[in-house]
Amino acid sequence: MKFEKVLVEEALAFYQLKAQLDLETTYMLFSPHERQFDLEQLTAEIENIQANGLLLAAKTEDGRLVGYIQAEVLPLAKVKHTAEIVVGILADFRGQGIGYQLFGNLEIWAKEQGIHRLALTVMTINKAAFNLYKKVGFEVEGIKRQGILLGEEFIDEYYMAKILT
């Protein structure tokens, strides 16, 4: 497995990865078929994230994108020390240490950038992701009550963060 920045030339492959994740799991923000493909908009999004943050993909040896971690940093004085994290890994590739490696690469990048805080949210019912985040050092800071409507059920989310030293 290779871990490399997503290039603008990979916009279609990145979209396909995210659309597949939308189909495979209820834990991503988008529901199946809710995500729209707009090459110009996605290319601009990739460029913006790479300029102010990190968009790193897990790639098979033949270059297929099978997971990603996204760290967005707002260029504002009061919050530029914080990176907001999104992560997704295709079902066939979960449980192989890819998430752990993505977070390891993220932390190296964050320290190089002077990032002090990594933050994310996770649905309380997503035990696998929650366990991964705990394993890599994230702690629960609070609960976002009924933050997600999943079908007919409201789901709480954990606010989690890791302070880098």
What pTM did the predictor assign?
0.93
Task: Give the domain range for residue 89.
Answer: 2-163
Looking up tokens 């007919």 gives 152
Here the tokens at position 9 are: 């030339």
CATH code, domain carrying 30 = 3.40.630.30
**DSSP string of 90-136, one letter each residue:** -GGGTTSSHHHHHHHHHHHHHHHHT--EEEEEEETT-HHHHHHHHHT
Contact yes or no for 157/133 (Cβ under 8 A): no
Here the tokens at position 155 are: 């789901």
State how far the alpha carbon of 20 is from the alpha carbons of 40, 92, 114, in Å: 20, 11, 33
pLDDT tens for 24-34 read: 988 888 877 87
> Total structural domains in the chain?
1
pLDDT tens for 100-156 read: 999 999 999 999 999 999 999 999 999 999 999 999 999 999 999 999 999 999 999
Contact yes or no for 82/116 (Cβ under 8 A): yes
